[in-house]
A and B are shown apart, each in its own frame.
Chain A
Amino acid sequence: MEILVCVKRVPDTAENEISVSSAGNDIERGDLVYSVNEWDNYAVEEAIQIVDRVGGNVTVVAVGDDESEEILRREMAMGANDGLLLKDGAFDGSDGKGTASILKAAVGKGKYDLILTGAQAEAGAAQVGGMLAAMLDYPYASLVNKVEVIDDKKLKVGREIEGGNQEINEIELPCVLSIQTGINEPRYVGIRGIRKVASVEIPVMGASDLGLGADSVGAAGAKVKRVDYFVPEMGAGAEMLEGSTEEIIDKLVELLKAKGGLK
């Protein structure tokens, strides 16, 4: 099975305290630690496991800048066979549809049976996979937490729905799936693995290679635009307990007693 997995380089929210920049036009990017989007990493692991079972090839693709190469390499160290970087100044400011259009053009340059994305990335939009599928006229399933290959024409997939229940579907290939966390246990990537792929050539394609007009992608083609980042005025919020740890614990114990938290 030829599998394409779309991956994105994002600030790692588990490693960073995100704050809005003083100008309000971005978050503070100074000391951010970046990594591959958590959901995408599960998607790559799933692709590798499918290929381990039925054979084939895994390609990881990112829309991004030069620094996205580092996450492509990381996913190749995990076991993806090929990488592809889609990079062009014209892509800057793309909305979800713009990003899906870029990926669609890249899909057209290859031949894939299965395309995976993460269920969502740092903006929580959960949109690119579904858009890409519709553009390609492929069937789509989101929030997938189980993939079983029936034959070379169909898959059985589980979707995670409310309450942790699982919706089982049969889906025809080629198709697009967005992968939910927890579907597998992504393998660890060591320094040695990274070193092994350090010098592998990663092809780069821009707007003209992909046959994309500048007005269909990037800020020019975007109907959805971010105006600013801000910290919302909230209600009261939590009453913060202050003092030494001992004092805080004393106050907390009193509160727990009062609220029925200690029996």
Chain B
Amino acid sequence: MAQVFAYITHKGGAADDSALELAAAAKKLGADAVTAVVTGTGGELDAVCKDMAASYKEVWKIDNAAMAYPNAEVVRKALVNVLPGDCLLLLPHDTFGIDLGPGLSIKMNSAYVSDVVAIDGLEGATLKVVRQEFGGAASTHMTVDTGAGAVVTLRPGSFAADESKSAGGQVVDKSGDAGDLTAKRKYLETVAAEVGDVDITKSDVLVSVGRGIEDQDNLQIVFDLAEAMKADVSCSRPIVDAKWLEKSRQVGTSGLTVKPKVYMAMGISGAFQHVGGIKGNPFIIAINKNPKAPIFQVADVGIEANILEFIPELTEKIKSL
């Protein structure tokens, strides 16, 4: 079978959580040897490569100052030059994988399938995977013709990390093959997210509201409930996109990671980018008018209700205690 590679994202000398998830996913392809490929420069890169050799039989290191920051346009060029054209390459479906994967598949003339949540296996050159559509409301089986290679991005958190660390692998320096890395996009700087007045990452109890609240004026009932419960208000992304609440209240992959004891999701469908921001295994209560909403799959307790009616009644009850 074609060679399988896993692209390792890293920061400050430490590999991302996805690194060991990709190792686990690669096993589902039936590959006996998976190669990690790591780009970057200097001591941080060396540290990550050394670390990865515990989990991957072989680690391909591509060291170049042009990749000190992982600019996908630059990394793409290096990968096209270094990787065999017909390989299977696994990437995390995060903001870097989304940036790199589609264009890389074109330049390698490979098939592309993204945001994979499960791998059913590889039969001959046909890869069978599971994806989701409509924000998780429907799942699909997909087939991918990997005959000329494939780039596959995997949803973070969907594959249990392979923690065995028994690969005893070796690091192979491929820096000489990286080729011309000039690009028409230049990384300048990273601007940190704004800090808000409440720090939802420290809250024990979060009353979280989503698009189901329908109107900005209706937010008052959510704040009233939070006050009665002595909880803080957080939200899903559409509420921030609409500028109804500050970004510092957004839970999710592009917002904050929270770890409360109790999380109430109200009028939130349960997209993985939202749920990905809820950590520490809290007690999750979901209130949604749609009994099929994906949030009910991750919640401990569910209530099928119209939040516009339910929330005020709940607030009244709590106030009367």
Q: Is the CB of A130 within 8 A of B238?
A: no
B18 to chain A, nearest CB (A): 11
Chain B: interface residue total (CB-CB under 8 A): 96
How far apart are the CA atoms of A186 and B285 in the complex, in Å?
32
Chain B residues contacting A81 (CB-CB under 8 Å) are: none
CB under 8 Å from chain A, chain B span 228-279: 229-231, 237-238, 240-243, 247, 250, 253-257, 261-262, 264, 269
CB under 8 Å from chain B, chain A span 151-194: 156, 158-172, 175, 181-182, 185
Q: Is the CB of A134 within 8 A of B106?
A: yes
State whether the Cβ of B314 lies closer than 8 Å to any Cβ in chain A: yes
Also in contact, A158 and B262, with CB within 8 A (given A164-B254, A228-B140)? no
Question: Which of A129, A165, A170 interacts with B193 by CB under 8 Å?
Answer: A165
A40 to chain B, nearest CB (A): 14
Q: Is the CB of A168 within 8 A of B188?
A: yes
B276 to chain A, nearest CB (A): 10
How far apart are the CA atoms of A263 and B71 in the complex, in Å?
47
CB under 8 Å from chain A, chain B span 278-306: 283-286, 290-292, 296-305
A9 to chain B, nearest CB (A): 14
Q: Is the CB of B297 within 8 A of A234?
A: yes
Also in contact, A253 and B297, with CB within 8 A (given A13-B137, A134-B103, A160-B254)? no
Q: Is the CB of A227 within 8 A of B112?
A: no
A242 to chain B, nearest CB (A): 9
State whether the Cβ of A205 lies closer than 8 Å to any Cβ in chain B: no
Chain B residues contacting A19 (CB-CB under 8 Å) are: 137-138, 292
Cβ proximity bits B93-111 to A, threshold 8 Å, 1 near / 0 not: 0111011111111110001
Q: Is the CB of B139 within 8 A of A231?
A: yes
Chain B, residue nearest A225 (CB): B143
CB under 8 Å from chain B, chain A span 194-252: 223-232, 234-235, 237-241, 245, 248-250, 252
Q: Is the CB of B314 within 8 A of A249?
A: yes
Chain B residues contacting A241 (CB-CB under 8 Å) are: 301-303
Q: Is the CB of B141 within 8 A of A230?
A: yes
Chain A residues contacting B292 (CB-CB under 8 Å) are: 17-19
Chain B residues contacting A239 (CB-CB under 8 Å) are: 300-302
A17 to chain B, nearest CB (A): 5
Q: How many A-B contacts at CB < 8 Å in the complex?
A: 263
Chain A: interface residue total (CB-CB under 8 A): 81
B137 to chain A, nearest CB (A): 4
Question: Which of A129, A162, A256 interacts with B94 by CB under 8 Å?
Answer: A162
Q: Is the CB of B142 within 8 A of A226?
A: yes
State whether the Cβ of A140 lies closer than 8 Å to any Cβ in chain B: yes
Secondary structure dominating the interface of A: mixed
How far apart are the CA atoms of A241 and B304 in the complex, in Å?
8
State whether the Cβ of A84 lies closer than 8 Å to any Cβ in chain B: no
B197 to chain A, nearest CB (A): 16
CB under 8 Å from chain B, chain A span 48-96: 96
Chain A, residue nearest B135 (CB): A13
How far apart are the CA atoms of A130 and B186 in the complex, in Å?
17
State whether the Cβ of B86 lies closer than 8 Å to any Cβ in chain A: no
State whether the Cβ of B145 lies closer than 8 Å to any Cβ in chain A: yes
Chain A, residue nearest B291 (CB): A240
Q: Is the CB of A164 within 8 A of B115?
A: no
Q: Is the CB of B133 within 8 A of A224?
A: no
Q: Is the CB of A230 within 8 A of B140?
A: yes
A34 to chain B, nearest CB (A): 13
Also in contact, A182 and B237, with CB within 8 A (given A224-B112, A238-B297, A240-B303)? yes
Chain B, residue nearest A130 (CB): B102
Chain B residues contacting A224 (CB-CB under 8 Å) are: 111-113, 142-145
Question: Which of B96, B141, B148, B237 interacts with A181 by CB under 8 Å?
Answer: B237
Chain A residues contacting B215 (CB-CB under 8 Å) are: none
Cβ proximity bits A97-113 to B, threshold 8 Å, 1 near / 0 not: 10010000000000000
What are 30 A-B pairs with beta-carbon distances under 8 A? A13-B269, A18-B134, A125-B114, A125-B131, A131-B106, A134-B102, A134-B107, A135-B106, A140-B185, A143-B95, A143-B99, A160-B254, A164-B256, A165-B191, A171-B186, A175-B185, A227-B140, A228-B140, A230-B138, A234-B297, A238-B298, A238-B300, A240-B301, A248-B305, A249-B313, A259-B261, A260-B204, A260-B261, A261-B205, A263-B230
Q: A123-B131, A175-B185, A255-B285 are in contact. List 10 more A-B contacts (CB 8 A).
A: A17-B292, A138-B184, A143-B98, A160-B95, A162-B95, A163-B193, A170-B185, A223-B144, A238-B299, A252-B285
Q: 7 smallest A-B Cβ distances: which pairs?
A: A130-B102, A238-B302, A134-B103, A134-B106, A164-B193, A182-B241, A261-B262
